Amino acid sequence: MKTMEQKQPKVIIFTTPTCPWCRAAKQYLMQKKIKFTEVDVTRDQRAVKDLIRLTGQTGVPVILINNRPVVGFDRAKIDQLLGLK
């Protein structure tokens, strides 16, 4: 039987300190017990370039789930990519 650890996808969330949707997205992931890596784009210029390359824009939050970007706090898409109901 697989544990949650083994099947959890790799999750990275691009944020800024002042973004209310970023806070909501992080809170949502924590409620669902999803581990994630947070990247503050105000402190990491390479992350900004990555965002533009991945999504064509600089808006946050962007949540990467197994390298598939979700732009904004789109619960339905997040749940779908995480395999949640």
Taken in order of first residue, the domains within the chain and their CATH numbers are: 9-82 (3.40.30.10)
Give the CA diameter of the chain. 41
Per DSSP bridges, beta strands 68-71 and 62-65 are antiparallel
Predicted TM-score (pTM) of the model is: 0.88
Q: Is pLDDT above 70 for 81?
A: yes
- Give the mean model confidence (pLDDT) for residues 27-52: 95
User: How many whole angstroms separate alpha carbon 56 and alpha carbon 68?
Assistant: 14
pLDDT at site 18: 96
Cβ neighbours of 14 (radius 10 Å): 27
**CB-count exposure of residue 54 (10 Å: 0-12, 13-18, 19+):** middle
Percent of the chain surpassing pLDDT 70: 92
Whose structure tokens read 């909501």?
A: 24
